[in-house]
Structures are given as structure tokens and as C-alpha cells.
Chain A
Amino acid sequence: MQTPEKKLLERIKKSNKTAFKDLYYIHHPVLFRYVVYRIRDREIAEDIVQETFVRIWNNRSRLDSNKSFFSLIAKVSNNLCYDHFRHQKVKIQHQEKLPGLYSKNKKNPESGHDLNEMKEAIWNAVNDHLPDKCRKIFLLSRNERKTNQEIADLLNISKRTVENQLYRALKILRKLLKNYL
């Protein structure tokens, strides 16, 4: 059976811009949230999202309609994020600027941990320590608030896999954040 996404991808391969527009409208907000979580800069995230779609359009003849489109754009945008970090060394600045996960001078436990500090720590840990696939699923779940079934559909994987990956992500995060929990 042909899924709607598959049909759209087939039409995009034939340079149908309306189909591209449809797919763009479906995935643009999702991809933006996904990227901005990593980049933390609204404008750069916007640029990366646009560049991702431009690349998809330019290479439309090579699209594989059997594969999940979101997986593809997540991968392309991931690469663009890596490029960005490499070029700008923003990552280093971020780690210096932000109350780091690894800074030795933690507040003493009695004062209680600032919640924002914990959010920062989660943020850093997600970006730096989750494997790509795991991060993708985690962000779709926590940041996009998608249900496990929705994620499974979006990525063409089973719901069981989604659950396993989420569980794995949480275990990794718990280990890294044990000072906060």
C-alpha cells in the first residue's frame, strides 16, 4: 500500500513543486524544533532548516520513496549542525558560557539545584551524549510531544523500537545527570 508520504515523494522526484510544498508544510515546524534544540539560535536554526530543504529539492531525483522522509531531513540537518559547530566553534563557547554539566564547582547539595540549571544539563547531555537515532526519537517525543505511535509512523519503525530507544535515552541521561536527580 502506498502511504501519502510515499506518493508525495514520487511526485517530488518528478519535480512537482506542489508536492514539495505539501511535504514542506508538514515537516517544517517539526524540523525547526528538532534543529533549534541542537543549535539554540533561532536564526541559524532557520537557515539550517531552509538549507536542508534546498538540498532535498536539488537532489530530488535521488530521493528514495521507501525510506522515511523525516529520517532523511533529520540526517541532512544533523550534518549541517555538525558543520556549523565545526566552523563556528560555537559548541566550545556554549560549554564555556553555560553552567556546564561537567564543571567541578557544583553548588552544594543543600541549596538544591536550580531547575534551569538542570534543563541546561539535560540539553547538553541530549546534544552531546545521545546517539543520533536515540536523540532523534527522544526529541520527537519530549520536544515535539509526539506519541510513540506517531514517532513510529514518522520514522517507519515499530513502536517497540521507539519505546526501547526512549528507555535507552533516559537511562543514559539518568547516568549523566545523577548529580541533579
Chain B
Amino acid sequence: MKSFDKKIKKEFKLLWEMSSEIHLPEPPNTDDAWMEMEQLIEQNEVKTKLSPARFYPKRKFSPQPRFAYVIAAVLMFTLLGQPAYLWLTTESFITDRGEQISFNLPDDSKIRLNAESELTFRSSFNEKSRLVTLSGEAYFDVQSGSHPFIIQHEDVSIRVVGTQFNVRTIENEIEVAVNEGIVLVSNDQTNDNPVHITKGQFISFSKKESPGTPEAIGHDQYPGWIYNKFIFNQENLSVVCKEIERKFDVDIELESDGLETITVTGVIDAKDLSRVLHTLSSLTNRSYKFDNKRYTFY
């Protein structure tokens, strides 16, 4: 070792030093990269497991029901009729708090489902129509196809041809933000003409109202959750905390009155919970503590 070092220093000093000073970008955060890797692996496995004609979700039933299950299914089918038929032919993806999944629909449209959300569709999807129902939040990258793609949430329907957009339904609010293409939103409760939302616009309305007029998104990394960020624009602290609870599977309480009406504006990196809470406490000028398995702002 000693002799090698000496030899190098004597013969190649400049070259040896210069070659280690070449400026290179730092490697990306390994946690983020691994998350992406898990998705890549998952996508690959879904692709190899599925024949192109048929699509099996991982949650409801196994791809090859055993014989007994087939008999049971036939029995239930005859006994229960329509509801059983609906149950058996409905496929759904469900996420818990703190969980996100990505998958492809039978028409190759890509879906990314945020935490605490559910997306269901019938097994006849893409035969005569492309209809899915959603509660929660999902990012859609819809392939163009012969049938319009429709997303239903209670009475609100969102109709598209081929595009990328985010739909979020939290409590009574619905928000649709479009990154690519055109989306039509209508509410059967109010029965107005459907509203057109185009690239770079979003709309946010209550389930009982008509959708109103779209506004400009004003942020190039929207929706934030796709980029692992929280983007808040004059959002009440209580809503902000719900988002954090959903993303990190934690409980957050607001202790003193008046806290929930504090509004938060800004982009927060959602990589790490303690950093998010730290940023939030400096934005709101409040402190937080952790005990009894929950965080409390005061």
C-alpha cells in the first residue's frame, strides 16, 4: 500500500488528483429511488403475470380459483342473483393510509392511487364502455380508445378521451386537475352542462353544487403527491393535517382553538414526516409535540 501510494505520487501526482476532482451530480436520494424501483418491479410483474386479454386485480380473488370456489361461486350466483353477479364481476383496488399503488387497467390506462382511496370497475370494462368509480384520489394517464373513459364519484361524472389528470374526492369536495388533454365534468345533482377543463386548469367544487368555472393550476408539479410533495394554497391547517395523516399514516391533533383556521401556503417536500412537521410548525409559527402515538399542534 505504502509503496503504491509513493509510486503514484511520484509519477502521476497531477493526474491522480485531477481525476478525483471532476464535478459530478450527486446520486439521487436512495429512499426515493427505491420507491420508484418497487413500482418498476411491480409494473413488470403485473405485465408478465397478465395475459393481454384478461386482467386480474391482486386484491379480490386469486387468478385461478380452485374447484371448490367455482362451485361456491356458482351456488352463490344462483342463490343471490343480481347482487352476487355484481360482486363477482366487480374488481377493485383499495389503498390504506400511508400506501400508494400503481397499476394498469385492461385498456392499458395507467392509474396511480393515492392513500385511503378505492377504484372499482366491472370485469366487462372496455367491452362496451370504460367506466370506473373512484373515492379518494387518483392520477389517471388514460390511453385513447374506442369508448370514452368515465370516472364516477356518486353523482359526479368525469368524461375523457385520452389524457392525464388528477381526481380528488375528499369529504364533500371534488377536485379535478388536468395535465394533458381535455376533461368534461358534470354533476347529475345539478344537471347543468358539463364543464370543459383543459391542460393546466383545475376545478374544485362541492358535490351538491354545479362545477363552476375552471382556474389555472399555477404550479408545475401538480398534483403534488405524484412528485412526493404537498402543495397548499391558502389551505386550512385542519385540511393540511388530514393530508399528512393520509400520507404518513399518523394522527395529528390541533389542540387550541383558532388553529384550524390558520391557512398554509407553500410547497412542502413530503419525503420525511419529521421534516414536514418541522416546516409546518415554522410556517404556522406553532409548536408540536409527540405523545400517546399522536402529534399535537398547540
Is A24 close to B, CB under 8 A?
A: yes
Chain A interface bracket (under 10, 10 to 19, 20 to 34, 35 or more): 35 or more
Closest to B11 in A: A170
CB of B27 within 8 Å of the partner chain:
yes
B25 at the binding interface (Cβ < 8 Å): yes
Taking the complex as formed, is B274 at the interface, i.e. its CB lies under 8 A from any CB of chain A? Answer: no
Q: Pick the contact of A170 from B12, B24, B30, B38 — CB < 8 Å?
A: B12
Interface residues of chain B: helix, strand, loop or mixed (majority): helix
B27 touches A173 (CB 8 A): no
Chain B residues within 8 Å of A37, by CB? 22, 24
A28 and B33 form a contact (CB under 8 A): yes
Q: Is there a chain A Cβ closer than 8 Å to B1's Cβ?
A: yes
Interface-facing stretch out of A3-11, A69-77, A101-109, A140-148: A140-148
In the bound complex, what is the Cα–Cα distance between A21 and B22 (angstroms)?
A: 30
B72 in contact (CB, < 8 A): no
- A134 within 8 Å of B (CB atoms): no
Query: Chain B 6-45, CB within 8 Å of chain A: the 1/0 string?
Result: 0110011011101111111101101001101110110010
Q: Give complex CA distance A174, B1 in Å.
A: 22
- The answer to the question of B290 belonging to the interface, with a C-beta cut-off of 8 Å to chain A, is no
Interface of A is mostly: helix
Q: Which residue of B lies closest to A25 (CB)?
A: B30
- Whether B12 contacts A174 by the Cβ 8 Å rule is yes
Q: Mark A101-145 against chain B: 1 for CB-CB distance below 8 A, else 0.
A: 000000000000001001100110010000000000010001101
Q: Which of B20, B33, B41 contacts A145 (CB 8 A)?
A: B20
C-alpha spacing A148/B27, complex, angstroms: 22
How far does the alpha carbon of A181 sit from the alpha carbon of B30 in the complex, in Å? 38
Residues of B155-171 contacting chain A, CB below 8 A? none
Give how many A-B residue pairs fall within 8 Å (CB-CB).
84
Instruction: Provide the A7-37 mask, 1 if CB < 8 A to any CB of B, else 0.
Output: 0000000000100010011001100110011
The smallest C-beta distance from B19 to any residue of chain A, in angstroms, reads 4
User: Which of the residues B11, B15, B40 comes within 8 Å of A122, measured between beta carbons?
Assistant: B15
Find out whether the CB atom of B18 lies under 8 angstroms from the CB atom of A50: no
Cross-chain contact A181 with B14 (CB below 8 angstroms)? yes
Q: Interface-forming stretch among A53-61, A80-88, A89-97?
A: A53-61
Partner of B34, one of A21, A42, A118, A170: A21
Contact B22 A143 (CB under 8 A): yes
Tell yes or no: B4 within 8 A of A by CB.
yes
Q: How far is the CA of A177 from the CA of B18 in the complex (A)?
A: 12
Asked if B30 contacts A33 (CB within 8 A), the reply is no
Residues from chain A with a CB closer than 8 A to the CB of B27 are 28-29, 32-33, 36
Q: Which of B15, B24, B38, B41 contacts A173 (CB 8 A)?
A: B15
Q: Are B14 and A50 in contact (CB under 8 A)?
A: no
What residues make up the interface of A, taking CB atoms closer than 8 Å to B? Answer: 17, 21, 24-25, 28-29, 32-33, 36-37, 42, 45-46, 49-50, 53-54, 57-58, 115, 118-119, 122-123, 126, 138, 142-143, 145, 148-149, 159, 163, 166-167, 170, 173-174, 177, 181
**What are some 27 contacts across the A-B interface (CB < 8 A)?**
A17-B38, A21-B34, A24-B37, A25-B34, A32-B27, A36-B24, A37-B24, A42-B25, A45-B25, A50-B36, A54-B44, A122-B15, A122-B19, A142-B19, A142-B20, A143-B19, A143-B20, A143-B22, A145-B20, A159-B1, A167-B7, A167-B8, A170-B11, A170-B16, A173-B15, A174-B11, A174-B15
9 A-B pairs with least C-beta separation:
A32-B27, A29-B27, A142-B19, A142-B20, A42-B25, A170-B12, A163-B4, A119-B22, A28-B30
Given A32-B27, A54-B41, 19 more A-B residue pairs with CB atoms under 8 Å apart are A21-B34, A25-B30, A28-B27, A28-B30, A28-B33, A32-B28, A33-B24, A42-B25, A46-B28, A119-B18, A122-B15, A122-B19, A122-B22, A143-B20, A143-B22, A159-B1, A170-B15, A174-B12, A177-B15
